[in-house]
Copies of this chain bind each other. A is one copy, B any other.
């Protein structure tokens, strides 16, 4: 299920459906613009295949790992997450950014335990994705966690988190009814769906 991103920064000759031939894009220069707790902002000067140059702004932040944790009782462990930019709490899956030196898998296990208290004995990679490749190279990894052992959550104060358990079927009903709106949570549920043994009796019926 895993595939690594292909190709160098400037891609080679490429036939173009509109009749133009794309030779390559080149990054001529990069200027650091701003640093925040979540990301860094850069301005690039890019040279287009037609020779023109353009200013291109992007932000960079570490990769993140998100987990679809399923308890032995057939419940998915969500977090109710207050998100300041949208001014509301969203139903999301546990996860967060990689700390220096961590693997995506280690991040997934650490964030799961920090945010919900659950430790997972089984962790399967579902896949990876670019959330916003038009403005950032940062990427997310999605895992499914099973064989969970309950411990004590210790979220950061600033996270405004609350753990919410939903039976697998109820979670997918919510998803299909358009009641889950954070894209990573939606993606995680869709990608984990074929592996949800709790849903199988229903599919067979």
Task: Decide: A36 and B57 in contact? CB cutoff 8 A.
Answer: yes
Other-chain residue from B11, B41, B49, B127 in contact with A88 (beta carbon distance below 8 A): B11
Chain B residues in 8 Å Cβ range of A83: 130, 133-134
Chain A interface residue count, CB cutoff 8 Å, equals: 82
Whether A46 contacts B84 in the complex (CB less than 8 A), given A135-B38, A158-B54, A162-B18, comes out as: yes
Whether A85 contacts B136 in the complex (CB less than 8 A), given A18-B161, A43-B36, A162-B18, comes out as: yes
Task: Decide: A7 and B88 in contact? CB cutoff 8 A.
Answer: yes
Task: Decide: A178 and B84 in contact? CB cutoff 8 A.
Answer: no
Query: A residues engaging B (CB < 8 A)?
Result: 1-3, 5-11, 14-18, 22, 25, 27, 33-34, 36-39, 41, 43-44, 46, 48-50, 52, 54-60, 80, 82-90, 127-137, 140, 153, 155, 157-158, 160-164, 176-179, 181-184, 186-187, 190, 194
Instruction: Beyond the given A38-B134, A131-B131, A183-B183, please list 15 additional residue pairs across the A-B interface where CB-CB is below 8 A.
Output: A1-B178, A5-B86, A5-B181, A11-B82, A11-B89, A18-B161, A22-B82, A25-B84, A34-B57, A48-B157, A54-B158, A58-B85, A59-B59, A128-B178, A133-B181
